[in-house]
Amino acid sequence: MSYNSMSSGQRRLTDVVIMVSLNNLFSRIYNLKEGVLGLGIYDEILSFLDENYIQLAKHVVDQSISRKLLIVTHDYGLMNLYDSRINVKMTKKGSSYRKSWK
């Protein structure tokens, strides 16, 4: 199957696999203990995945060598899989946030 013939969710999941793989590959090549930046950032790429892909996406991201992960998502199913979160609420008057750490 070609990349272009995949659904948008399959393409996003493929992109995440590539991002994690490249981070881990460069980390091993250059003997970096915590990833290329020490932080894995996944901005909106994991939003609105099919329910079938949520657990798989979490599993892939959890394979990252980076100890710290920043995942920006609108997907409550994915958010609920992590213990530490910052929820940001945007309104016409500005934004507010609530953090929770377990």
SS (H, E, C) 17-29: HHHHHHHHHHHHH
Confidence at residue 67, expressed as pLDDT on a 0 to 100 scale: 86
59 pLDDT above the threshold of 90 = yes
Report the predicted TM-score, pTM, of the whole model to 2 decimal places.
Answer: 0.80
On the question of pLDDT at 102 being above 80, the answer is no
Residue 11, pLDDT above cutoff 80: yes
The predicted structure's pLDDT at residue 44:
87
Model confidence at 74, pLDDT cuts 50, 70, 90, reads confident
